[in-house]
C-alpha cells in the first residue's frame, strides 16, 4: 500500500481567512481531494485563558505533533495533507487511490481517536484537564450534488474556488456540534451507517373499539448491547455528527422494504424537519423506494414531533408541503407535550394527531387531562384529522379514552414493539396484547 503522506502548513488563519490556506495548498496539491476534514480543540480559548501562554504553546506543539503522527500511519491506502488553520484548527485533505468512502472515513476517525487519546495522556501528565475535539468530514461526492463542481481530478487552478467552499462546509459542520462527540461513539455511529446494523421494530396502532389494526409505527434501535442501542442516544449523536439525513434515509428505506401491511394499512415513520435543509437532501427519494414495493404514497404517514414542528417551524412547513405534494400523509406526534400544539394543529391540519403519552398516563384519574383530550379530538374533527392516543398501558386508560371519543391508540396494553427481523417466528395475533 502507498505510504500515507503528511505535510503541515504553519500559517495561522482566521475564520474569515480560509482562502489564504489555498496559497499553501497550491504549492502541495496537484489534484482535487476526495474529502476535506476540519478539526479543532473544543473550548480552546478557555484553556488559553486558564492556563496561560506558555502552557498553551506547549499544548499546541503537542497537538501538531500528534496530528502529524496520527495521520502518518503507513498501513492505510490513503494520502493525507494537513493544513493549520487558526491557532488550534486544522484542515485535512484526504485522497484514496480507489476513491473509497469507507477507507477515507476510517482513516479520518481512527486518527481522531488516536489524537484525542494521546492529547489527554499528555494533559494528564501535566496535571491539566482533558480536552475534546470537534470535527467534521465533507465528501466531494456530496458536494457536487448541490454545487456546480468539478467531477474529475482537475489541476489545482480548476478547483480552488470549489475547495474554498468545501472547507467552509466542513468548518460549519464541525461548529454545529453543540457538544463534543466521544470518538468511540462516533466510530460506532459510522459502523452503524456503513453496515446498516440498525434494527426496526413495529408497534401496532389499533381501533380502540374493534381492535382492527390501522397500521404500524416503525421504531428504530441501535445494535444490541452497544453504546448507541437507545434510539434517543443514537439520534442525538447522529444529529451532532451531521449525519441525521443519512440515518433517517436508512431507517426509511428499511421500514418501507420490510413492511408487512395490507393495502388498507398505514406505515408510520418518524422524520425530522431539519433534514429538508440538509445539503444532501434529495427530493423524490421516498417515491423511488416505494416503486420497488407494493406500497402506495397514501399508505406512508410521516410523523413529526410537536417540539420539532414548533422549534423548526419554517423547515416543518416546507417538509409538510414537500411530502403532501407527493401524496404522503402527515402526523404530528406528541401533541399536548408543548405549549403551542393546538395552534399548530389548526395551521397545519395534519392527517393524524398523536396525543402525547404523558397526557394519557392515568387519564382516568384526572378530569383536566380528559378535557384536554376531548379538546384535541374536537379540533381534529374540524379538519378531518384522526386522533391516536399513545402510551396506553392499562384497561382504565383505554376505557376512559373510549369515553373521551378517541378512536385509535397504541401502547403496551395493545401491543409491544416487535422486531421486524423476526417476521415468520410468530403468529400475527401474538403481537397484540389484547386478544383479538
Lowest mean pLDDT of 3-12, 140-149, 256-265, name the range.
3-12
Mean pLDDT of 115-130: 88
Q: Return the pLDDT at 430.
A: 44
Nine-digit cell string for 50: 486558564
195 and 99 in one domain? no
Q: Return the pLDDT at 26.
A: 46
Q: Return the pLDDT at 423.
A: 44
Q: For residues 14 and 416, what is the distance between their CA atoms, to the nearest angstrom?
A: 54
In a domain, 148, yes or no: no
* Total of domains in the chain: 2
In a domain, 34, yes or no: yes
Mean pLDDT of 387-398: 96
Q: What is the pLDDT of residues 61-103, one digit of tens each?
A: 888 888 888 877 554 566 777 666 655 678 888 887 776 777 7
pLDDT over 70 (residue 152):
no
Q: Return the pLDDT at 405.
A: 95
Q: For residues 256 and 430, what is the distance between their CA atoms, to the nearest angstrom?
A: 22
Q: Return the pLDDT at 18.
A: 55
307 and 263 in one domain? yes
Mean pLDDT of 298-314: 77
Q: Which of 181-185, 222-226, 361-365 has the highest mean pLDDT?
A: 361-365
Mean pLDDT of 192-200: 87
247 and 161 in one domain? no
Q: Is the dihedral of CA 210, 211, 216, 219 positive or negative?
A: positive
Mean pLDDT of the chain: 78
Mean pLDDT of 181-208: 86
Q: H or E element: which one contains 361?
A: none
386 and 330 in one domain? yes
Lowest mean pLDDT of 57-71, 125-139, 299-313, 372-386, name the range.
299-313
350 and 392 in one domain? yes
- Higher pLDDT: 317 or 373? It is 373
In a domain, 4, yes or no: no
242 and 162 in one domain? no
Lowest mean pLDDT of 32-41, 224-233, 274-283, 325-334, name the range.
274-283
SS3 string, 367-382, reads: HHHHHHHHHHHHHHHH
324 and 420 in one domain? yes
CB atoms inside a 10 Å sphere around CB 280: 16
Q: Is the dihedral of CA 390, 235, 432, 328 positive or negative?
A: positive
Q: What is the pLDDT of residues 412-436, one digit of tens each?
A: 999 999 887 554 433 444 445 554 4
Lowest mean pLDDT of 171-175, 189-193, 257-261, 310-314, name the range.
310-314
Range 42-56 burial, b when 16+ CB lie within 10 A, else e: bebeebbeebeeeeb
73 and 196 in one domain? no
In a domain, 151, yes or no: no
Nine-digit cell string for 165: 467552499
DSSP state of 277: G
How would you classify the pairing of strands 266-270 and 300-305?
parallel
225 and 128 in one domain? no
- Higher pLDDT: 50 or 19? It is 50
How would you classify the pairing of strands 89-96 and 408-409?
unpaired
231 and 165 in one domain? no
The proportion of the chain whose per-residue pLDDT surpasses 70, expressed as a percent, equals 75
Domain containing residue 71 = 11-143+157-180
In a domain, 82, yes or no: yes
- Higher pLDDT: 236 or 393? It is 393
Order of all β-strands in the sheet with 89-96: 8-9, 78-85, 89-96, 35-41, 133-139
Lowest mean pLDDT of 59-63, 222-226, 283-287, name the range.
283-287
- Higher pLDDT: 29 or 81? It is 81
| N residues, the chain | 436
Q: In Å, what is the CA distance from 68 to each residue of 48, 81, 84, 111, 121?
A: 22, 9, 11, 10, 17
Mean pLDDT of 371-396: 94
- Higher pLDDT: 217 or 170? It is 217
Band of pLDDT at residue 13, cut at 50, 70 and 90:
very low
In a domain, 185, yes or no: no
199 and 165 in one domain? no
Q: Which residue shows C-alpha cell 474554498? A: 164
403 and 267 in one domain? yes
| CATH number of the domain residue 124 falls in | 3.30.70.270
In a domain, 150, yes or no: no
Collapsed DSSP state (helix, strand, coil) of residue 276: helix
Nine-digit cell string for 37: 476534514
CB atoms inside a 10 Å sphere around CB 18: 22
| CATH number of the domain residue 235 falls in | 3.20.20.450
Mean pLDDT of 331-351: 79
Q: What is the pLDDT of residues 395-416, one digit of tens each?
A: 999 999 999 999 999 999 999 9
- Higher pLDDT: 143 or 201? It is 201
Q: For residues 135 and 356, what is the distance between their CA atoms, to the nearest angstrom?
A: 36
Amino acid at each position: 500500500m502507498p505510504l500515507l503522506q503528511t505535510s503541515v502548513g504553519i500559517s495561522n488563519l482566521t475564520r474569515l481567512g480560509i482562502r489564504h490556506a489555498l496559497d499553501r495548498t497550491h504549492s502541495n496539491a496537484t489534484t482535487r481531494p476526495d474529502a476535506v476534514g476540519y478539526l479543532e480543540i473544543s473550548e480552546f480559548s478557555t484553556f488559553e485563558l486558564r492556563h496561560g501562554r506558555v502552557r498553551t504553546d506547549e499544548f499546541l506543539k503537542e497537538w501538531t505533533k500528534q496530528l502529524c503522527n496520527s495521520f502518518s500511519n503507513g498501513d492505510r491506502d490513503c494520502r493525507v495533507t494537513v493544513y493549520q488553520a487558526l491557532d488550534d484548527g486544522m484542515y485535512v485533505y484526504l485522497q484514496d487511490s480507489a476513491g473509497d468512502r469507507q477507507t477515507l472515513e476510517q482513516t479520518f476517525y481512527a486518527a481522531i481517536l488516536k489524537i484525542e487519546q494521546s492529547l489527554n495522556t499528555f494533559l494528564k501528565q501535566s496535571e491539566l484537564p482533558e480536552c475534546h475535539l470537534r470535527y467534521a468530514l465533507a465528501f466531494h461526492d456530496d458536494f457536487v450534488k448541490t454545487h456546480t463542481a468539478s467531477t474529475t481530478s482537475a489541476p489545482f487552478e480548476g478547483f480552488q474556488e470549489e475547495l474554498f467552499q468545501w472547507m467552509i462546509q466542513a468548518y460549519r459542520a464541525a461548529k454545529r456540534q453543540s457538544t463534543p462527540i466521544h470518538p468511540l461513539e462516533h466510530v460506532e455511529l459510522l459502523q452503524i451507517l456503513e453496515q446498516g446494523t440498525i434494527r426496526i421494530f413495529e408497534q401496532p396502532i389499533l381501533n380502540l373499539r374493534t381492535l382492527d389494526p390501522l397500521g404500524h409505527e416503525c421504531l428504530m434501535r441501535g445494535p444490541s448491547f452497544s453504546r448507541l442501542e437507545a434510539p434517543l442516544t443514537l439520534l442525538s449523536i447522529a444529529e451532532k455528527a451531521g449525519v441525521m439525513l443519512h440515518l433517517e434515509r436508512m431507517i426509511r428505506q428499511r421500514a418501507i422494504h420490510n413492511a408487512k401491511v395490507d393495502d388498507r394499512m398505514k406505515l408510520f415513520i418518524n422524520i425530522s424537519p431539519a433534514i429538508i435543509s440538509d445539503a444532501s437532501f434529495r427530493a423524490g427519494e421516498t417515491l423511488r423506494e416505494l416503486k420497488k414495493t407494493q406500497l402506495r404514497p397514501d399508505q406512508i404517514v410521516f410523523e413529526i414531533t410537536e417540539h420539532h414542528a414548533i422549534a423548526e417551524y419554517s423547515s416543518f412547513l416546507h417538509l409538510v408541503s414537500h411530502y403532501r405534494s407527493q401524496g404522503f400523509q402527515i402526523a404530528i406526534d406528541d401533541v399536548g407535550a408543548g405549549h403551542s400544539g393546538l395552534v399548530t394543529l389548526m395551521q397545519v391540519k395534519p392527517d393524524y394527531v398523536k396525543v402525547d403519552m404523558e397526557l394519557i398516563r392515568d387519564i382516568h384519574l384526572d378530569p383536566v387531562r380528559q378535557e384536554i383530550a376531548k379538546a384535541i379530538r374536537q379540533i381534529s374533527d374540524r379538519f378531518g384529522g384522526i386522533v391516536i392516543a399513545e402510551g396506553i398501558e392499562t384497561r382504565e386508560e383505554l376505557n376512559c379514552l373510549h369515553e373521551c371519543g378517541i378512536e385509535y391508540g397504541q401502547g403496551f396494553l395493545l401491543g409491544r414493539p416487535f422486531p421486524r427481523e423476526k417476521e415468520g417466528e410468530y403468529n400475527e395475533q401474538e403481537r397484540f396484547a389484547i386478544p383479538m
